[in-house]
Amino acid sequence: MGKKVKKASSSRPQHRPTQKGTRPPRSRPLLERHLKLYEEIKRHNEELQRATEHKSHFLARMSHEIRIPLSIIMGFLDILSLETLGTLNQEQKTAVDKMLVQSQKLQKMIGGVLSLSQIEAGIIPIEISTFPMERIVESLRALAEDLQRKTNLKVRWDIDQDLPPLATDASKLDEILQNMVVNAFKYTSKGEVRIRIKNHLDSKTVEFVVEDTGRGIAAENISKIFDGFQQIDTTTSNQGVGLGLAIVKTYLELLKGKIQVQSKLGKGSTFTLILPHTLKAKKNHSARRVERPRRKGPARR
C-alpha cells in the first residue's frame, strides 16, 4: 500500500477566492513582516550614521583642540633646547630633544586624525580649481631634491610633454603625491626612486607613478597599508605614525582617483595613481577661478 498523503491544507490558511486586484490574504503577514523589518533596518542605519557623524565631529573637534596646547608645549621645548632659558647639561639636552621628537610625532598623528575625521564628518571642503600640471611637477621636484640631498638616492624623472591642465583639488593632490614620494625615499636604503607622469588622452586621465628599489611589501600586507595606523615593519626607525596612506586613500576617493600597488619584498614597490583630468563639482564643492600657467614650454625633465 502506498503512503498516506498528508493533506497540505491542515497548517496553511485556507484561501477563499478573492476579488480581482486584491492580494491573497496569505501574503499579507509576510509582506507586513518584510515592511517592518525594512523599517527597522532603515532606523538602525540612520542611528548608525548619526553615531558615526557624532564620533567624527567629536574626533575632529578634539584633535583641533589638542593642537593648541601641544604647539605651546613644543614652543617651550624649542626655547629650552635652544638654551635661551639657561644652559642644559648633556642629560637634560637629550631629554628635551627626545620630548621634541615625540611631540612632533604626536603633532603629526593629531593632524592625520583631524584630516581623516574631518573627511568622515563631511566637513573638509573640496576646492576645485583649474591649474597647470607644471605646478604639481615643481612641487614634487622641490620635495624630491630635498629628500635626495638627505638620502643620496638617485631620482629619475619621466614626465610626458604637453600635460593638460587639471581641474581638481590641488592641495589634496599635492598631499597625496608628497606622501607617496616621502614613503619611496623613507623605505629605500639604496638604489633609486623613479617618478613618472603620463597623460592618457583617451580616458582623460593622468597617471602618476612612484617607483622605488626599496625594501618592498609582502603580498599579504599590501591590503593593510591603506588602513590607518598600520605600519608593516616597526623594527626600522620609522618616525611616521602610519596615517599617510590612509589619508592618500581617503583623499583619492574624494578626487575620484584610483591607486594600485605592486611590490616585491626586498626588491621595491610601485605605486600607480590614476586621476581624472576634471573633477566634476558637487553641490558642496567650491570651484575657483582658472589659473594661468606660470611659464610656457614643456615640463622640465
Ligand X SMILES: Nc1ncnc2c1ncn2[C@@H]1O[C@H](COP(=O)(O)OP(=O)(O)OP(=O)(O)O)[C@@H](O)[C@H]1O
Interface residues with ligand X (CB under 6 A)?
Answer: 179, 183-184, 187, 212, 214-217, 225, 230-233, 238, 240-246, 269
Q: Of 186 and 277, which has the nearer Cβ to ligand X?
A: 186
CB of 226 to ligand X, least distance (A): 7
132 binds, among ligand X, Mg ion, none (CB under 5 to 8 A by kind): none
Q: Work out how close the CB of 105 gets to ligand X at its nearest, in angstroms, rounded to a whole number.
A: 9
Nearer to ligand X, 267 or 288 (CB): 267
Cross-strand pairs, 260: 272
212 binds, among Mg ion, ligand X, none (CB under 5 to 8 A by kind): ligand X
Cα dihedral: 156, 145, 113, 271 (round 10)? 0
Q: Which is nearer to Mg ion, 81 or 272 (CB)?
A: 272
Shortest Å, Cβ 155 to ligand X: 14
Q: What is the DSSP string of 190-233?
A: SSEEEEEEEEETTTTEEEEEEEE-SS---GGGGGGTTSTT--S-
Which residues lie closer than 8 Å to 13 by C-beta, 6 or more apart? Answer: 25, 26
Q: Which does 111 bind (CB under 5 to 8 A by kind): ligand X, Mg ion, none?
A: none
The least distance separating ligand X from the CB of residue 55, rounded to whole angstroms, comes to 21
Which residue lies nearer to Mg ion by CB, 181 or 197?
Answer: 181
Rounded to an integer, what is the distance from CA 242 to the centroid of its chain?
Answer: 11
Bridge partners (DSSP) listed for residue 155: 193
Residue spans of beta strands (DSSP E) within the chain: 127-131, 154-159, 166-168, 192-200, 205-212, 258-264, 268-276, 286-290
Query: Would you say 61 or 249 has its CB closer to Mg ion?
Result: 249
Closest approach, Cβ 66 to ligand X, in A, equals 17
Judged by beta carbon, residue 245 or residue 255, the one nearer ligand X is 245
Helix/strand/coil for 143 = helix
For residue 66, count other CB atoms closer than 10 A to its CB: 16
Report what 106 binds from ligand X, Mg ion, none; CB cut-off 5-8 Å by kind: none
3-state DSSP assignment of residue 131: strand
Name the residue whose CB lies closest to Mg ion: 244
Q: Look at residue 242 and give the partner it binds from ligand X, Mg ion, none, a contact being a CB closer than 5 to 8 Å depending on partner kind.
A: ligand X
3-state secondary structure of 96: helix
Give the dihedral sign, CA 22/23/24/28.
negative
126, interface contact from Mg ion, ligand X, none, CB < 5-8 Å by kind: none
Q: Which is nearer to ligand X, 32 or 158 (CB)?
A: 158
- Residue 287 interaction partner, one of Mg ion, ligand X, none, beta carbon < 5-8 Å per kind: none
